[in-house]
Amino acid sequence: MKQLIFLLLLLLLSASAGAQYPYPPSRTVDSTDTYWGITVKDPYRWMEKIRDPEVQDWFKSQGDFTNRVLEKIPGRDMLFQRIKAIADAEGDQYSPPYLHGNAWYVSKTLKGETFGKLYKRDAQTGKETLFFDGQAYKKGSQLLNYKINRQGDLMALMLRDEGSELCEIIFMNPVDQSILPDKLYPVWSEFDFDFLADGKSLIYTRMSTSDLDSEQLTKNMEATLHTLGTKPEDDIVLASSQHTPDIGLLPERFPLLTLSDDDQYIFLGIVSVKDSYPVFYIPAAEARSGSIHWKPLIREEDEVTGFYTFGDQLFFCSHKNAPHFKIGVTSLKNPDFDRARILAAYPDKTISAMQATRNFIVFSLSDGIT
């Protein structure tokens, strides 16, 4: 019996090995790069030229082949119709509401719509009006993010063309909803931006090129300060691999700027694909000084995945020596994560998210299922 089972297994293995999928051919090229003395082969470099007809034909052939395989799966149409029915049952989608002065702002994508619109609701009367429609500004334009300055007389809106990761930041007068001349482009869709306390200066991350075929597309980004009414090429570079080499900002890493809630500090994260990264900071008043000295706040080895500041307190989430993560607090001006006061840590549950409100730190726990 054991010999029979063994022979059957051999037969099945040989049959599955012989039933190889007839994938469309993918040619290779002789392409190499050398990094720190190590040669790395890249035989599919030619596929990076997305607009090349040969590359587009290759993608189409792969897609057609995939569809032919998927169409043979039993019950696929029934499953697809069930998923579609559930999706069609969904209602409107809302972004988190933002309160400024006596008005709520919320981005909504109504059922059946492809693009969301920004609405304004009077906090006292509840009357809601359409505030900004990206499609009215430019066809195919999608609103991703927006910020209002503290004075309430200027709004920055991040827009992208449908399907693109490249965005532009435009400026609006929220009183009469007129669009101002300033435009910042190109900006990566995943990066934040914010107004400084003066209400006329915006910190953001600027890309080095908008050429989708360029190897520099996601390299050599600059942490930048723009003042309304000035040319983008005159923006102040706060950090880049060229301007601030002492902080270890490699061309392949991304400078991410954020502002403390009290407007006192600008934080600079040196971001990569890792969930933890080094962070530096400067007093916000130093941004225009012409002599910027970034001070280290978080080291990469601290394994901090998120942080918030309240005055001179730094609240953080870290997985250093904490496989289920921990939340702690230390000094902003003299941080010591190894001796920080731990506020939350659990042996049987994982801290999966942390968020700051005006008076509280809110976090969620997961047992792996719920």
Q: What is the pLDDT of residue 273?
A: 86
Q: Which of 45, 66, 88 is the last residue of a domain?
A: 88
Q: What is the pLDDT of residue 285?
A: 92
Is 325 inside a domain boundary? yes
**Sheet of 178-188, strands arranged across:** 141-148, 155-161, 166-173, 178-188
Is 109 inside a domain boundary? no
4-18, 79-93, 95-109, 343-357: range with lowest mean pLDDT: 4-18
Q: pLDDT band for position 7 (50/70/90)?
A: very low
Task: With a cut of 60, say whether residue 36 has pLDDT above it.
Answer: yes
Beta strand extents in 162-221 (DSSP E only): 166-173, 178-188, 194-195, 201-206
Q: What mean pLDDT, rounded, does the chain reach?
A: 90
57-61, 160-164, 209-213, 281-285: range with lowest mean pLDDT: 160-164
Q: Would the pTM of this model clear 0.75, i.e. be above it?
A: yes
Task: With a cut of 70, say whether residue 13 has pLDDT above it.
Answer: no
Q: What is the mean pLDDT of residues 272-294?
A: 90
Q: pLDDT band for position 88 (50/70/90)?
A: confident
Q: What is the mean pLDDT of residues 33-59?
A: 93
Is 250 inside a domain boundary? no
Task: With a cut of 80, say whether residue 317 has pLDDT above it.
Answer: yes
Q: What is the pLDDT of residue 140?
A: 86
Task: With a cut of 60, say whether residue 9 has pLDDT above it.
Answer: no
Is 150 inside a domain boundary? no
Is 12 inside a domain boundary? no
Q: pLDDT band for position 213 (50/70/90)?
A: confident
CA 154/CA 19 separation, integer angstroms: 63
Task: With a cut of 80, say whether residue 287 has pLDDT above it.
Answer: yes
CA 335/CA 341 separation, integer angstroms: 11
| Residue 286 C-alpha from the chain's centroid | 27
CA 285/CA 266 separation, integer angstroms: 9
Task: With a cut of 80, say whether residue 351 has pLDDT above it.
Answer: yes
Expressed as residue numbers, the domain containing 346 is 302-370
Q: What is the pLDDT of residue 19?
A: 54
Are 168 and 156 in contact by the 8 Å Cβ rule? The answer is no
Q: What is the pLDDT of residue 173?
A: 94
Q: What is the pLDDT of residue 355?
A: 93
Q: What is the mean pLDDT of residues 14-32?
A: 76
Q: What is the mean pLDDT of residues 291-303?
A: 93
Q: Report percent pLDDT > 90 for the chain.
A: 69
β partners of residue 141? 161
Task: With a cut of 80, say whether residue 223 has pLDDT above it.
Answer: yes
265: left (phi over 0), alpha (psi -120 to 50) or beta: beta
Is 56 inside a domain boundary? yes
Is 218 inside a domain boundary? no
Q: Which of 88, 117, 140 is the last residue of a domain?
A: 88
Q: Which of 43, 69, 88 is the last residue of a domain?
A: 88
Cα–Cα distances in angstroms (integers) from residue 79 to residues 66, 85, 131, in the given order: 18, 10, 39
Structural domains in the chain (count): 2
Is 310 inside a domain boundary? yes
251 upstream amide cis, omega within 30 of 0? no
